[in-house]
Structure 1
Amino acid sequence: MNKIISTDRGPGAIGPYSQAVQTAGGMLFVSGQIPLVPATGAMVEGGIEAQATQVLENLKGIVEAAGYQLSDVVKTTVYLADINDFGTVNGIYAKYFVENCPARVCVEVSKLPKGALVEIDVIASK
């Protein structure tokens, strides 16, 4: 049976979805996170650096609340409103995924929820 993960270490869902779902087989699927501050639900102030950091902190909080670590992440998808931000986001991302980095996809999209500049989702496994 799947287990729904809900924590105040990440922003609440802004639609009909769960922050994360853990399968009976030990896989963790974390919904895409945008740079919302968990305590307020407001978009973090600042540009792409602040937004990428907030997104990764949100993901870290949700992953850890489910009993996993970022080192358990096996796949990420990064959505950027502007692919020119790739280098900046990549540098911040590298502070969170240091060794045995997960597989990754990075794409530019035309728009993200609430005007975010970046959104990231992850899949983890124990």
Structure 2
Amino acid sequence: MSDTDPIVTDDAPRNDNPYSQGVRAGETVYVSGYGPVDPETGDDVAGDIRTQTNQVLDNVAAVVNEAGGDGLADVVKVTVYLTDLDDYDEVNEAYGARFSENQPARVCVEVARLPGDVRIEMDAIASLG
């Protein structure tokens, strides 16, 4: 088994649940799922789904940065979880603006509910090599 290092940063939301914000295994970073939570306050950000999408991506980027990467530029795979697929087009617009240069592979699924009753969550995989 390869060596792994948990990623810990104050620039992404932290909680008391039994998982890491991210884990680096060699040159790969696995980022845990994040909702639209402000890391400074621990509260969900107010605003529309675009604003919330940008906060989620900020949280993902913070974990990749802490692992030694270049934020979203190193992301190679994203899973998007939405509680309402009617939000898909707006999420896609905000997401596309953040990944205009580097477009990772992606899956988007509708789910019944997310922790904290947020509307969106994403997890990601980044490659630092």
1:65-122 Cα distance to aligned partner (Å, 9 max, x none):
1111212111000000100111100111112111231100000000011011100000
Match of 1:3 in 2: 5
Structure 1 unaligned segments of length 5 or more: list them: none
Q: How many Å separate the matches in 2 of 1:71 and 1:92? A: 16
Structure 2 unaligned segments of length 5 or more: list them: none
Match of 1:85 in 2: 87
The TM-score, its normalising length taken from structure 1, stands at 0.94
Q: How many Å separate the matches in 1 of 2:108 and 2:96? A: 14
Match of 1:49 in 2: 50
Match of 1:65 in 2: 66
Moved over 3 A (4+): none
Q: SS at 1:38's partner residue?
A: coil
Alpha-carbon deviation of 1:14? 4.6
- Out of 88, 102, 105, the residue aligned to residue 103 of structure 1 is 105
Cα distance 1:100–1:54, how it changes in 2: closer, same or farther (>3 A)? Answer: closer
Alpha-carbon deviation of 1:53? 1.2
Q: How many Å separate the matches in 2 of 1:66 and 1:48? A: 27
Match of 1:33 in 2: 34
RMSD: 1.1
Match of 2:14 in 1: 12
Q: SS at 2:107's partner residue?
A: strand
Match of 1:123 in 2: 125
Alpha-carbon deviation of 1:47? 2.6
> Which one-letter code corresponds to 2:27 in the other structure?
G
The TM-score, its normalising length taken from structure 2, stands at 0.92
